[in-house]
């Protein structure tokens, strides 16, 4: 007969693995009624604690882990992660926590790193970014009992920070529509990401509601080259867009240069804007209209949520602050109908 695990107890009790861990280790964060029910189920299952796992769970590393599972060229030039990490580190340092930061090419590398961190007691919890549908990382983290905050998706029984991706796209589309745009192209980053899918759906719904046309370029990656390739696709579409939304500023740079190479006058022949801001968007000519999401603030809030969980609080979901539209030269011209 196989040895019962906390995952078995969680399934029987209908609660998260984190809740079971809190109950078995007599930690705050769950109700007394839930604690008693979990302990009763554990006794009936003849559950015996794994001494090694228990010693690891009770030890404190005073560190939080962050793993970015992307190819380097899709995040090294992007300002979102740079500012996000600054905000994250700022809050962690204030509470005497260190940040353990790793990168790798895919989710398999990320999951393997989580297991290593847990086995070595390197971190007390992790910040999960770039969520996808059916994300395997959440189940693994629950299985090993490593607390987490997910940035970008609302996950049951897990602390989360969510943004209103539809509002971001709607805000940009409203502005472009007011400037006379009727066909809006969209250049996506990594297509499997939840926020990318939500933005695409939002633009398609907006176009249908307002009698406009949405043209979605085939997304591959969040790189300058991908931005250039997307413009080639959009300019070859049956209906050429008179305005284009880019998923981030790196895609915008690639698209900006590709439009100029194609003889397009940015801000005159075609309006462009970005879902992320950076100094790059301010210094090019014409300057780029953007959405500013305050990524450092998102990092600070992610750290705060995780520290709450590590101190025994019940995981909760928090909404990002509303994003701000910053209008610049790339969308100033009104397109004649």
268 and 307 housed in the same domain: no
1 in any annotated domain:
no
SS3 at position 321: coil
299 and 192 housed in the same domain: no
151 and 174 housed in the same domain: no
pLDDT beyond 50 at 131: yes
Q: What are the CA-CA distances from residue 314 to residues 13, 135, 238, 302, 308 (Å)?
A: 17, 22, 52, 15, 8
56 in any annotated domain:
no
327 in any annotated domain:
no
Local confidence band at 1 (pLDDT 50, 70, 90 cut-offs): very low
273 and 220 housed in the same domain: yes
Q: How many domains does the chain have?
A: 3
333 in any annotated domain:
no
Selection from 267, 297, 294, 260 nearest residue 278 by Cα: 294
Q: What is the mean pLDDT of the chain?
A: 89
The predicted structure's pLDDT at residue 2: 61
- For residue 90, the tally of other CB atoms under 10 A from its CB is 13
115 and 138 housed in the same domain: yes
127 and 204 housed in the same domain: no
The predicted structure's pLDDT at residue 57: 53
26 and 133 housed in the same domain: no
Output the six-digit token pair for 156: 């049951």
pTM of the model: 0.82
The average pLDDT across 123-138 equals: 94
Output the six-digit token pair for 94: 């204030």
Task: Using DSSP bridges, classify how beta strands 98-104 and 63-69 pair: parallel, antiparallel or unpaired.
Answer: parallel
CATH number of the structural domain spanning residue 18: 1.10.260.40
pLDDT, tens only, 152-182: 999 988 999 999 999 999 999 999 999 999 9
Q: Which residues contact 196 (CB under 8 A, 6 or more apart)?
A: 188, 189, 190, 219, 247
142 and 199 housed in the same domain: no
Measure the CA–CA gap between 24 and 31, rounded to whole angstroms: 13
Range of the domain at 109: 63-163+295-321
Measure the CA–CA gap between 233 and 49, rounded to whole angstroms: 58
The predicted structure's pLDDT at residue 50: 60
Are residues 107 and 322 in contact, defined by beta-carbon separation less than 8 angstroms? no
Q: What percent of the chain has pLDDT over 70?
A: 93
pLDDT beyond 70 at 303: yes
92 in any annotated domain:
yes
Measure the CA–CA gap between 29 and 6, rounded to whole angstroms: 17
Please report the DSSP string for 229-265 in residue order. HHHHHHHTSSS--SEEEESSHHHHHHHHHHHHHTT--
CA dihedral 216, 220, 221, 227 (to 10 degrees): -50
232 in any annotated domain:
yes
Selection from 31, 36, 27, 19 nearest residue 58 by Cα: 27
Q: Which residues contact 203 (CB under 8 A, 6 or more apart)?
A: 169, 173, 184, 186, 214, 216, 245
74 and 193 housed in the same domain: no
119 and 19 housed in the same domain: no
CATH number of the structural domain spanning residue 282: 3.40.50.2300
pLDDT beyond 90 at 111: yes
336 in any annotated domain:
no
193 and 132 housed in the same domain: no
The average pLDDT across 138-165 equals: 91
159 and 306 housed in the same domain: yes
The average pLDDT across 258-262 equals: 95
Alpha helix segments (H runs only) across 187-326: 194-209, 224-235, 249-261, 279-283, 295-310
Task: Using DSSP bridges, classify how beta strands 98-104 and 317-319 pair: parallel, antiparallel or unpaired.
Answer: unpaired
- When computed from its CA atoms, the radius of gyration of the chain, rounded to whole angstroms, is 23
Local confidence band at 52 (pLDDT 50, 70, 90 cut-offs): very low
SS3 at position 320: coil
pLDDT, tens only, 76-106: 777 899 999 999 999 999 999 999 999 999 9
261 in any annotated domain:
yes
């Amino acid at each position: 007969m196989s040895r019962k695990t906390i995952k078995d107890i969680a399934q029987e009790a209908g609660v998260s693995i984190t809740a079971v861990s809190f109950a078995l280790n007599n930690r705050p964060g769950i109700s007394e009624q839930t604690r008693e029910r979990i302990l009763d189920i554990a006794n009936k299952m003849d559950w015996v604690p794994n001494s090694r796992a228990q010693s690891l769970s009770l030890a404190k590393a005073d560190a939080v882990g962050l793993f970015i599972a992307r190819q380097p060229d899709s995040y090294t030039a992007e300002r979102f992660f740079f500012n996000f990490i600054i905000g994250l580190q700022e809050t962690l340092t204030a509470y005497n926590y260190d940040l353990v930061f790793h990168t790798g090419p895919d989710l398999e590398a990320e999951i393997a790193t989580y297991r290593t961190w847990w086995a070595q007691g390197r971190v007390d919890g992790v910040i999960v970014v770039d969520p996808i549908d059916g994300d395997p990382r959440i189940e693994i983290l629950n299985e090993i009992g490593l607390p987490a905050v997910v940035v970008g998706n609302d996950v049951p029984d897990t602390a989360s920070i969510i943004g209103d991706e539809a509002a971001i796209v709607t805000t940009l589309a409203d502005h472009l529509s007011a400037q006379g745009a009727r066909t809006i192209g969209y250049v996506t980053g990594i297509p499997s990401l939840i926020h990318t899918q939500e933005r695409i759906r939002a633009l398609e719904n907006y176009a249908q509601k307002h009698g406009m046309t949405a043209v979605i370029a085939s997304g591959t990656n969040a790189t300058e080259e991908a931005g250039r390739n997307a413009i080639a696709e959009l300019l070859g579409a049956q209906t050429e867009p008179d305005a284009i939304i880019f998923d981030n500023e790196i895609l915008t740079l690639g698209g900006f240069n590709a439009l100029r190479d194609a003889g397009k006058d940015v801000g005159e022949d075609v309006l462009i804007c970005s879902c992320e801001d950076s100094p790059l968007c301010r210094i090019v000519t014409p300057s780029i209209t953007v959405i500013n999401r305050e990524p450092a603030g998102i990092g600070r809030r992610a750290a705060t949520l995780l520290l709450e969980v590590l101190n025994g609080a019940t995981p909760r979901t928090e909404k990002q602050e509303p994003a701000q539209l910053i209008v610049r030269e790339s969308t100033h011209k009104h397109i004649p109908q």
